[in-house]
Amino acid sequence: MACNSSGCESGSCGREKENGSKAEEEVIGAKKESVCLKCKSNEPMTFGDGGSDDGRFCADCFRSNVYGKFRLAVTSHAMITPSDNVLVAFSGGSSSRVALQFVHELQVKALRNYEASRDRSLPVFGVGVAFVDESAAYPPALSSEMGDAVAWVRSTVLSMSPPEKDLHVVPIESVFGSESVEARDRLVKLLDSVSDETGKEDLLLHLKMLSLQKVASENGYNRLVVGSCTSRLASHVLTATVKGRGYSLSADIQHVDARWKVPVVLPLRDCVWQEITRLCHLDGLKTVELARDQHPQSGINDLVSSFVALLQEENPSRECTIVRTAAKLTPFYFNKIPETDDSCVPMATQRRLKKFNLKYDGSMTTEAFCPICNGPLNDSDSSDLNTFEGCHDSDALFAACCSSCRFQILPQDRSSLEHFGSLLPHHMISQVKHHQKFDSQTYLREKIKDCLLLDDEEAV
Amino acid sequence: MEKGEAKSKKAGGPPPRLCCICNERRPVLKRPKTLQQICRECFYEVFEEEIHQAIVENRLFKSGERVAIGASGGKDSTVLAYVLSELNRRHSYGLDLFLLSIDEGITGYRDDSLETVKRNELQYGLPLQILSYKDLYGWTMDDIVKMIGLKNNCTFCGVFRRQALDRGAALLKVDKLVTGHNADDIAETVLLNILRGDIARLSRCTSITTGEDGPIPRCKPFKYTYEKEIVMYAYFKKLDYFSTECIYSPNAYRGFAREFIKDLERLRPRAILDIIKSGEDFRIATTTKMPEQGTCERCGYISSQKWCKACVLLDGLNRGLPKMGIGRARGGVNGGGDHKKETKAGSTVKSLESKQCGSLDF
């Protein structure tokens, strides 16, 4: 279900609501006061932001509606279970602020239940917060601005205890394994070697995810929560389409993305931007926006954002329709939480997960992935792999990437490509080597070797 | 994707003194698809060769086939007629080519473009057949717009034209219909289908050949050809075409997608082909693809409902209910019944509407 939002005026539901409130107005009488459509008792909130559905719901019903969608997403996709250790990616923006707030509220409730229960059988899941410091990518960095932002993040996270949450400030150059001047330098060189503006923006996003994955796995987290909302996903659907990434699109827009070491979950996927900003306004949730975020960039990503904003003006439910269409595409096997042999998962949870088929067998790896964007490769992209005979590392890198990354990220000539390859973080390059070594015969043999009677392959 | 794709990301340095491809002549243009700076002759060559490759690799034609070219007099169909007859000659496709034109009855637009098609008939030596909405349906687009205004008029025209082309093709007894839909059109359609939630259409709209199991298969040899290059070709070759936008089109929703694609092309020319690639690669379950095929009870045309869309729309027009058939079906609107047919003044109209299409050779 892509969208069940109060901001969605698709089809007849909008009209029904209008009729409902009109009837209510007539009943109340002379004062012509309207009431909340849901609880029919409180006064509806007016946000005065020119958006749809203004003045329909009271503050409580509005909040519970949004939180309800969050909770439904979490439970129906097994995003957070009692034994999990969850890292929330926090950028300081509205979406991730709401995600952090909701995860905190969920944790508080779990703690309350834990303290009230006699046998204390269900543990409380752990929550950590990660803030990625991207200032190394934009030299000369405004260090004072970033310092203020970090201080603000720290105090925000501190205010959300109990239960206490660890804060990890992650400099993006940590993908290179250190946080030194050399690492920062390497980052700048890497980004500079990408000539395409959009390619540069996208490479930075991929590095950001890598840095989050790194901090998550190094600190024992087993879930990464990102605050992507419907509106963000709608833009992603269009940017993926215009970059020729139609095959991998369905992997990016589901509730769960488990192709990463630490599975990524999107609990706000069904909430629209309007709801999120209204909630921040309503509950006084502060956000921070760094100066560079306010500068319009000149690439395709910004063009698409403006296009979606234009479409929204014409029809406020367009974002929902876009995501709903994309949701009809077939997802991948890794768009579910993977099953792990985890003895500390409570029995009740295990039974429930099995019953609703919410997990998949983690040993299935039928897809090959692009080393840079981690997108699943289509046959047409990966056909080069088998015919490839070059001896250069750069040829291997070229062959292993998807056509979109080849065009917008990889440099075009061989020597620049060699240099580029040497600058990439180790994790991405190791993916390339993994490609080269992949041999289906060996892979199959591994699966059945315990049943083979003879050792050598000639017996087969 | 393409070889020799020049990435001139920064404001270009001094233009090369020689064409990128032949290295002999002076370059006179920048190729919209690849930004290569090439001479006229090389442009003609790559343009025509890419279309030839699209035809050959996708096996669009068989030798001896009779093929009708949907000709509106606009740049796409004029260039299509020119290039196809040229390639037919050069590579001996062995095709029998015809021009098929539809007169929607739009004064000041269609009557002018039809003159162009009549000139094309003489210039290219291809026999021409013209069918009009007036004869087929009893309504011109002028009449329709007078009745329903400027919203949803494109829906009527599109549905009527599709059937008109099929009927014309049947009259000409051709094996295939080709249309001038170009890469920009297809990219726009992919975007539109995403915006509108039409997953079934999304899976079909990138096919280069459609309707193989219907009355007349149709193909789009210009699937990978950029609109800007078609214009460039027509300009340099001084081809005769009619260049005005349909006067009833400004409010079409497609306009949003078209503007966006124009902006996109400026940033990254290959994005148009990338959209088409995405459309081809979308993971869409085969079960969502085809609705069940039947025939229209009223006229015998192919239809997935009881009545074909054209009959539904026509019925609405004739009964003064122009909203019928527009938007989602709310049950019970579609279908037959014994309601009176209110016909307009003009007895010829009445006789054609009540005629079964069997007489027009389906």
Residues A336 and A383 in one domain: no
Residue A48 pLDDT: 76
**Per the annotation, does B70 bind a ligand?**
yes
Three-state DSSP state, B348 = helix
Residue A310 belongs to some domain of the structure: yes
Residues A304 and A437 in one domain: no
Give chain B positions within 8 Å (CB) of A196. Answer: 7, 9, 268
pTM: 0.84
Residue A22 belongs to some domain of the structure: no
Check CB contact under 8 Å for B263 and A303.
Answer: yes
Residue A108 pLDDT: 94
Fill in the amino acid letter for B118.
K
Residue A3 belongs to some domain of the structure: no
List domains and CATH numbers for chain B: 49-281 (3.40.50.620), 294-350 (no CATH)
Q: Which residue range forms the structural domain that includes residue A410?
A: 379-449
Q: How far is B271 from chain A (nearest CA, A)?
A: 6
Query: What value does the mean pLDDT take over residues A145-156?
Result: 90
Q: Closest chain B residue to A11 measured between Cα atoms?
A: B328
Confidence band of A54 (pLDDT split at 50, 70, 90): confident
Count of beta carbons in the 10 Å neighbourhood of residue A435: 21
Asked if residue A165 has pLDDT above 70, the reply is yes
Q: What is the pLDDT of residues B92-105, one digit of tens each?
A: 999 999 999 999 88
Residues A443 and A318 in one domain: no
Q: How far is B329 from chain A (nearest CA, A)?
A: 12
Q: Is A200 on the interface with B (CB under 8 A)?
A: no
Residues A123 and A197 in one domain: yes
Residues A269 and A138 in one domain: yes
For β-strands B218-219 and B209-210, DSSP reports them as antiparallel
Residue A242 pLDDT: 97
**Per the annotation, does B94 bind a ligand?**
no
- Among B186, B277, B280, pick the best mutation site for testing chain A contact (most A Cβ within 10 A): B277
Q: Closest chain A residue to B257 measured between Cα atoms?
A: A307
Q: What is the pLDDT of residues B34-93, one digit of tens each?
A: 999 999 999 999 999 999 999 999 999 999 999 999 998 889 999 999 999 999 999 999
Lowest mean pLDDT among A62-76, A266-280, B140-154: B140-154
ipTM above 0.90, yes or no: no
User: Percentage helix, strand, coil, to 5, in chain A?
Assistant: 50, 5, 40
Q: Is A81 on the interface with B (CB under 8 A)?
A: no
Distance between CA atoms of residues B151 and B142, nearest Å: 13
Contact B309, B37 (CB under 8 A): no
Confidence band of B16 (pLDDT split at 50, 70, 90): low
Q: How far is B15 from chain A (nearest CA, A)?
A: 20
In this complex, the residue of B199, B278, B285 whose CB is nearest that of residue A245 is: B278
Cα torsion B152, B153, B154, B160: sign = positive
Confidence band of B354 (pLDDT split at 50, 70, 90): very low
- Among B57, B268, B288, pick the best mutation site for testing chain A contact (most A Cβ within 10 A): B268
Inter-chain CB pairs, A–B, below 8 Å: 98
Report the C-alpha dihedral over residues A279, A280, A283, A289, rounded to 10 degrees. Answer: 180
Q: How far is A306 from chain B (nearest CA, A)?
A: 10
Give chain B positions within 8 Å (CB) of A413. Answer: none
Q: How far is B6 from chain A (nearest CA, A)?
A: 10
Three-state DSSP state, A30 = coil
Residues A148 and A291 in one domain: yes
Domain with A316 in it: what CATH number? 3.40.50.620
Query: What value does the mean pLDDT take over residues A293-302?
Result: 79
The answer for residues whose C-beta is within 8 angstroms of residue A357's C-beta and 6 or more apart is none
Query: What value does the mean pLDDT take over residues B204-212?
Result: 91
Asked if residue A252 has pLDDT above 90, the reply is yes
In this complex, the residue of B194, B197, B278 whose CB is nearest that of residue A244 is: B278
* Count of CA atoms in the C-beta half-sphere (13 A) of B299: 23
Asked if residue A436 has pLDDT above 60, the reply is no
Could you give the number of structural domains in chain A?
2
Residues A299 and A443 in one domain: no
Q: What is the pLDDT of residues B128-144, one digit of tens each?
A: 999 999 988 889 999 99
Residue B4 pLDDT: 42
Query: What value does the mean pLDDT take over residues B264-270?
Result: 95
Structure tokens at B112: 């002018």
Residues A316 and A276 in one domain: yes
For residue A270, what are the CA distances in angstroms to A142, B7, B56?
35, 39, 46
Query: What value does the mean pLDDT take over residues A285-302?
Result: 80
In this complex, the residue of B273, B280, B282 whose CB is nearest that of residue A329 is: B282
